[in-house]
């Protein structure tokens, strides 16, 4: 069944880096997509999220009543391994700027879609279309929706973000576990994004009411040659429930341009159970300009 939605984006401050790699495979509209899996408590479904990023420079803005307005459409389909259509959704997004200069400074446009899905492999297709021009971008990929255990100690996927703040706005699409998490679908950090924020959930801790159990986690970053370039001292916390969250910000300003692995090792100290979550991100540092004479 098709579903429509219209959203107005509130643009963040100009803190974005230039476009480096794009996930779209066809067309001339560049955008980024990332995904993450989270456990739904006491359900057989998985909470699956898709994160989108489009740069204003990719869109055609028209002046209307003193504002510059662009509109783009996202069409998303998900099919299971038998070819059955699981999701078929189309929604439009409206972007309003005060000046055209804002399209050149990297002000990011985000979106997020959340689904409750059965675990398995799906065929994902996305088309993003600029409604003021003929620009479009297509992405087709297989995605894995994870199956989480009711009793095995394990971790969610890592969600990379440009900011994480406390929030009570449960109706906000970026709200999760008492936090407003602004995603970074590019996973690119650097001069303009020196702090790499991330969010992770820990499942099936050995919680006992009134107990004094603890868990601890260690954060490391490895380069492409598997050399450890950042180590954060272990953090120990009390076990207050069977599910806990880890959200942090890591200063990566000193890292050179390249690809890295974020590794988060979590241990339940009541029974010695260990789980590790790892995922790739990128650092981009613009080359220095010519020295003035």
Give the least confident one: 152-156, 208-212, 225-229. Answer: 208-212
pTM score:
0.88
Taking only the tens place, the pLDDT of each residue in 172-215 is 999 999 999 999 999 999 998 999 999 999 999 999 988 899 99
Number of domains in the chain: 2
Q: Within this chain, do residues 120 and 5 fall inside the same structural domain, yes or no?
A: yes
Strands 109-117 and 159-166: unpaired
| Residue at which a domain ends, from 102, 131, 148 | 148
Q: Within this chain, do residues 179 and 269 fall inside the same structural domain, yes or no?
A: yes
Contact 64, 43 (CB under 8 A): no
Cα–Cα distance, 47 to 36 (Å, whole number): 8
Tell me what pLDDT residue 285 has.
87
| CATH code for position 136 | 2.60.40.10
Q: Within this chain, do residues 8 and 34 fall inside the same structural domain, yes or no?
A: yes
Q: Within this chain, do residues 242 and 211 fall inside the same structural domain, yes or no?
A: yes
Run of H or E including 164:
strand 159-166
Strand ranges (E), 12-146: 26-27, 31-39, 46-54, 62-64, 67-79, 85-97, 109-117, 120-130, 136-145
Chain-centroid distance of CA 77 in Å reads 19
| CATH code for position 167 | 2.60.40.3880
Token pair, residue 271, equals: 């029974």
Q: Within this chain, do residues 139 and 13 fall inside the same structural domain, yes or no?
A: yes
Residues whose CB is less than 8 angstroms from the CB of residue 67 and which lie 6 or more positions away in sequence, other chains included:
96, 97, 98
Write the secondary structure of 53-88 as one string of H (helix), E (strand) and C (coil): EECHHHCCCEEECCEEEEEEEEEEEEECCCCCEEEE
Evaluate if residue 287 carries a pLDDT over 90: no
Tell me which residue range forms the domain holding 110: 1-148
pLDDT band at 107 (very low <50, low <70, confident <90, very high): confident
Q: Within this chain, do residues 159 and 263 fall inside the same structural domain, yes or no?
A: yes
Q: Within this chain, do residues 61 and 186 fall inside the same structural domain, yes or no?
A: no
Tell me what pLDDT residue 9 has.
40
Q: Within this chain, do residues 122 and 169 fall inside the same structural domain, yes or no?
A: no
pLDDT band at 68 (very low <50, low <70, confident <90, very high): very high
pLDDT band at 24 (very low <50, low <70, confident <90, very high): low
């Amino acid at each position: 069944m098709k579903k429509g939605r219209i959203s107005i984006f509130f643009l963040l401050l100009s803190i974005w880096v230039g476009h480096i790699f794009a996930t779209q495979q066809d067309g001339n509209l560049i955008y980024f997509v990332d995904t993450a899996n989270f456990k739904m408590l006491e359900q057989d479904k998985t909470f699956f999220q898709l994160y989108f990023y489009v740069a204003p420079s990719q869109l055609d803005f028209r002046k209307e009543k003193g504002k510059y307005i662009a509109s783009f459409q996202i069409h998303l389909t998900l099919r299971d391994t038998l070819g059955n259509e699981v999701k078929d959704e189309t929604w439009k997004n409206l972007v309003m700027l005060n000046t055209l200069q804002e399209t050149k400074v990297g002000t990011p446009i985000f979106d997020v879609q959340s689904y409750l899905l059965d675990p398995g492999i799906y065929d994902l297709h996305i088309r993003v279309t600029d409604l003021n021009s003929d620009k479009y971008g297509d992405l087709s990929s297989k995605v894995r929706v994870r199956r989480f255990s009711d009793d095995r100690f394990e971790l969610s996927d890592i969600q990379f973000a440009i900011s994480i703040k406390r929030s009570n706005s449960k109706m906000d699409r970026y709200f999760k576990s008492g936090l407003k998490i602004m995603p970074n679908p590019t996973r690119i950090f650097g001069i303009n994004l020196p702090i790499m924020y991330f969010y992770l959930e820990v499942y099936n801790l050995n919680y006992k009411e009134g107990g004094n159990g603890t868990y601890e986690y260690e954060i490391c970053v490895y380069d492409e040659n598997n050399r450890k370039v950042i180590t954060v001292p272990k953090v120990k916390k009390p076990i207050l429930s069977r599910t806990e969250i880890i959200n942090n910000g890591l200063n990566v300003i000193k890292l050179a341009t390249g690809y890295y692995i974020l590794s988060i090792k979590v241990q339940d100290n009541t029974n010695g159970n260990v789980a590790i979550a790892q995922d790739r991100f990128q650092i981009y540092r613009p080359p220095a300009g010519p020295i003035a004479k």
